């Protein structure tokens, strides 16, 4: 139904009447951006036959159900024909939309306008090449984070109170949003004046609840920073999935897992959770919240290993879409990639190739936006630091407005008046690269797991 409305002939006529000389004069303004973006989206939609749109929608919904049951039963064979069908339909969609390089380009464009298989590979291959030896060096160091302190008793009511105060302190406006409890943390809502966050709490896993709150608050702070006067129009919408994720990751990791942040908040944490944290030195707690170790599950992985989970998925889904990998061979290719990259192999497909929902709905091209988000976060954060001064010292003093204001001015209010690759070039002076994130990860994990690690991983 949405497709029929978007592609109705009169919508095209309305948009055409807006293409006037006034519009050309306002190419960089709201009207220019709105008309340009709406026409771009509509043009793509009109190329896809309604019957195909309908079949994709119906199949995705059924395939999702089959995937959920197959994951529970650890039964890839049951899911396989559905994944094959979703893949076939998405390739058909890509062929209908058209592309110049790879059919993957037509699909990724739905999530990350302006990116292609080649442009993503350029940054993610560089990231993977440098990150794999860093993660191996962390394992080889033999050092272990005192992670058991985070599994002590953290009463849920105190976690909710503590997390809410932290979210408010970094800038989430509780007069224009709220925080509730669900099974899966998320951020939703209805525009910048009503942003809904959710998280979950586990008495014996402080990090799960707390960092989910910071992550979702980061998404929410972005939503609250979008322009209310352009609500519902591209100029008032989030730029892309990767930029959205850059905001959540920045507050979760670059702020919330920084030393300065805990210099500011740790005494408070000890007061809120005396049974768990009394007598635990700040440095031990900091190491615990920054533990890094290869694991099987993407959503439970840490700041360093997370991107490798994404690089693996990008390589596999690109090969699927480009016809270089058959669905039947996917579980084996998955395990090989995990062995080569993270040094771990899941004994089950449930915790392997079946762990994520995305492919069941044919969302090929979505995964890279997670890693691109981490890269954008690091590069934007560095640029903010160059302009604002010592951010870590600000966090240690509980000062988050300077960073928040910088993000509001440089990212949030831009909406879709620019694409993400262009924004990062204009604001940081360089195109997106793996270097800022790698530099940050080497410094942090070199400090925690041994100074020599930074040098050995760099070679
Ligand atoms: Zn997120």
**pLDDT tens digits along 139-171:** 999 999 999 999 999 999 999 999 999 999 999
Task: Give mean pLDDT, residues 53-68.
Answer: 98
What is the 366 CA–ligand 1 centroid distance (Å)?
12
What is the 216 CA–ligand 1 centroid distance (Å)?
7
Confidence category of residue 453, pLDDT binned at 50, 70, 90: low
pLDDT at 451: 65
Average pLDDT over the chain, rounded to an integer: 95
pLDDT value at 455 more than 70: no
Condensed to tens digits (0 to 9), the pLDDT of residues 85-128 reads 999 999 999 999 999 999 999 999 999 998 999 999 999 999 99
Q: Where do the H-state alpha helices sit in 178-298? A: 206-225, 241-249, 259-272, 274-277, 282-289
What is the 9 CA–ligand 1 centroid distance (Å)?
36
pLDDT at 459: 43
pLDDT value at 426 more than 60: yes
pLDDT value at 235 more than 50: yes
Active site residues: 216
What is the 100 CA–ligand 1 centroid distance (Å)?
30
3-state helix, strand, coil in the chain (%, to 5): 70, 5, 30
C-beta of residue 15 within 8 angstroms of C-beta of residue 39 = yes
pLDDT at 24: 74
Non-local CB neighbours of 352 within 8 Å, separated by 6+ positions: 296, 331, 334, 335, 338, 345, 346
What is the 215 CA–ligand 1 centroid distance (Å)?
6
pLDDT value at 25 more than 50: yes
What is the 219 CA–ligand 1 centroid distance (Å)?
7
pLDDT value at 22 more than 80: no
């Amino acid at each position: 139904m949405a497709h029929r409305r978007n592609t109705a002939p009169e919508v095209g006529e309305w948009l055409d009447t807006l293409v006037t000389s006034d519009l050309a004069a306002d190419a960089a303004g709201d009207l220019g951006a709105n008309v340009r973006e709406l026409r771009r989206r509509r043009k793509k939609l009109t190329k896809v036959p309604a019957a195909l749109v309908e079949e994709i929608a119906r199949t995705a919904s059924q395939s999702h159900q089959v995937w959920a049951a197959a994951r529970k039963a650890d039964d890839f064979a049951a899911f396989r024909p559905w994944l094959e069908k979703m893949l076939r339909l998405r390739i058909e969609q890509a062929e209908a939309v058209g592309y110049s390089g790879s059919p993957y380009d037509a699909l990724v464009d739905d999530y990350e306008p302006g990116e292609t298989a080649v442009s993503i590979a350029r940054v993610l291959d560089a990231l993977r090449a440098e990150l794999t030896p860093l993660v191996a060096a962390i394992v080889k160091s033999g050092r272990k984070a005192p992670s058991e302190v985070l599994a002590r008793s953290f009463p849920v009511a105190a976690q909710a109170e503590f997390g809410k105060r932290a979210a408010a302190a970094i800038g989430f406006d509780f007069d224009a949003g709220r925080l509730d409890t669900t099974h899966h943390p998320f951020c939703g809502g209805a525009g910048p004046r009503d942003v809904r966050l959710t998280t979950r709490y586990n008495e014996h896993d402080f990090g799960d609840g707390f960092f989910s709150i910071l992550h979702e608050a980061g998404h929410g702070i972005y939503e609250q920073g979008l322009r209310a006067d352009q609500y519902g129009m591209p100029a008032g919408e989030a730029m892309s999935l990767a930029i959205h994720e850059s905001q959540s990751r920045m507050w979760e990791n670059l702020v919330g897992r920084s030393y300065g942040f805990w210099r500011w908040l740790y005494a408070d944490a000890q007061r809120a959770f005396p049974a768990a944290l009394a007598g635990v030195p700040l440095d031990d707690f900091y190491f615990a919240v920054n533990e890094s170790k290869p694991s099987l599950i993407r959503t439970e992985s840490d700041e360093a290993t997370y991107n490798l989970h994404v690089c693996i998925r990008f390589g596999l889904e690109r090969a699927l879409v480009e016809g270089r990998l058959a669905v039947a061979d996917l579980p084996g290719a998955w395990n090989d990639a995990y062995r080569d990259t993270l040094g771990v192999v899941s004994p089950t497909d449930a915790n392997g190739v079946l762990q994520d929902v995305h492919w069941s709905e044919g969302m090929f091209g979505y995964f890279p936006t997670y890693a691109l988000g981490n890269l954008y976060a690091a590069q934007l954060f560095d640029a903010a630091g160059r302009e604002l001064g010592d951010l870590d010292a600000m966090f240690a003093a509980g000062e988050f407005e300077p960073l928040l204001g910088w993000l509001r001015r440089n990212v949030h209010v831009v909406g879709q008046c620019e694409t993400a690759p262009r924004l990062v070039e204009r604001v940081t002076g360089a195109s997106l690269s793996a270097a800022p994130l790698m530099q940050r990860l080497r410094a942090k994990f070199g400090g925690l797991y041994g100074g020599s690690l930074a040098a050995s991983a760099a070679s």
